[in-house]
Amino acid sequence: MSRVTVLDHPLIKHKVSILRDIHTGTNEFRKIVSEISTLMAFEVTRDLTLEEYEVETPLEKCTGYKLSGKKLGLVPILRAGLGMVDGMLSILPSAKVGHIGLYRDPETLKPVEYYVKLPSDVKDRDIFLLDPMLATGGSANDAIVSLKERGCKSIRLINIIAAPEGVEAVQKAHPDVDIYIASLDRELNDHAYILPGLGDAGDRLFGTK
Ligand code: PRP
Ligand code: URA
C-alpha cells in the first residue's frame, strides 16, 4: 500500500488557507501555489541519496555532500499542475519537465488525455507527478498509467488538496506510488469538487472564470 504523507507544516497550512479564500485573486493564487510547491519539494525530496566528496573551505578540507541518486523529472498534469512547476524548479533546477494534458469531461467526470511530452530518458528518472487537486483520482490514475506505459518505475504524486476518495482510488490502482499532500479534505460533492477545497484550481490559476 502506498504511503500518504500530509505536509501540515504551519507555513503550508497558512498558505493553503489563503488559496481556499474566495477573495484571493489570480495573481496571489498563482504566487502562493508556487510557494507551497517549493515548501512541499523540501519534504518530498527528504529521502534522496547523497554521496560524500572532499570540499576545501578557505580554512581546511572537509566532507561535502552531493545528490547521487537517479535524476529527477517533474511532470505537471495540465493545466493546473503547471502552477507547481516553477516553485519546484526553484530548488530542483536540474530536474527535467514533461507534460501530460488531461481534462475531466464535465458529463462523465472521466479524464480525457490530449497531450503527452516527456523527457526521452523519463524511465530512468524519479518522477514527481504534480497536480494541485486530487478529487476522484481519475486524472492522477490515468497520468500514472501513461508514465508506467513509458517505463517509469519510480513515481511520487504531489497534490496540494486531496479528497479521501481520490487518495483511496490511487492507492488501490497504484500501491507503489507514494502520495504527498498539503491537506486531506472532507469529501467530494455531487459534481466531484472537493469540499471544502478551493474551487477549480485551473480557473483560479489562470483567471479563466
Ligand atoms: C482538475 C485538477 C485535476 C483534476 C482532478 O483538472 O487540476 O487534474 O481536475 O480531478 P479528478 O481527481 O477527479 O480527476 P481539470 O480536469 O479541471 O482540468 P484543467 O486543469 O485543465 O482545468
Ligand atoms: N478539480 C478542481 O480544480 N477542483 C476540485 O475541487 C476538483 C477537481
Whether 103 has a pLDDT exceeding 90, the answer reads no
Higher-confidence residue of 163 and 107: namely: 163
Contact residues for 43 (Cβ-Cβ < 8 A; gap 6+): 5, 7, 9, 180
Whether 110 has a pLDDT exceeding 90, the answer reads no
Give the residue ranges of DSSP H helices in 58-163: 85-89, 138-149
Spacing, Cα 135 to ligand 2 middle (Å): 6
Q: pLDDT value at position 156?
A: 98
Helix (H, G, I), strand (E, B) or coil at 60: coil
* 179-193: average pLDDT: 97
209 pLDDT band, cuts 50/70/90, is: confident
Q: pLDDT value at position 105?
A: 86
Whether 84 has a pLDDT exceeding 90, the answer reads yes
Task: Give the span between the Cα atoms of 128 and 95, in whole angstroms.
Answer: 10
Q: pLDDT value at position 86?
A: 98
121 pLDDT band, cuts 50/70/90, is: very high
What mean pLDDT value characterizes the chain?
96
User: Of 46, 47, 108, 190, which is the active-site residue?
Assistant: 108
Nearest CA to ligand 2 atom 2: 200
- Catalytic-residue membership of 203: yes
Ligand 2 pocket member 201 (CB < 6 A): yes
Q: pLDDT value at position 169?
A: 98
Ligand nearest to the CA of 199: 2
Place of cell 504511503: 3
* 165-194: average pLDDT: 98
Task: Quick: pLDDT tens for 64-80.
Answer: 999 998 899 999 999 99
CB 84 within 8 A of CB 37: yes
Mutate to test the pocket of ligand 1, among 79, 100, 104, 208 (most ligand atoms within 8 A of CB): 104
Task: Quick: pLDDT tens for 15-26.
Answer: 999 999 999 999
Q: pLDDT value at position 106?
A: 82
Whether 165 has a pLDDT exceeding 90, the answer reads yes
The H or E element that residue 74 is part of is strand 72-78
Task: Quick: pLDDT tens for 128-159.
Answer: 999 999 999 999 999 999 999 999 999 999 99
The rounded percent of the chain whose pLDDT value lies above 70 is 100
- Catalytic-residue membership of 105: no
The H or E element that residue 154 is part of is strand 154-162
Measured CA distances, 47 to 3, 40, 50 (Å): 14, 13, 9
Nearest CA to ligand 2 atom 4: 200
The grid cell for 180 is: 504527498
Spacing, Cα 84 to ligand 1 middle (Å): 14
C-alpha atoms less than 13 angstroms from C-alpha of 92 in its C-beta half-sphere: 28
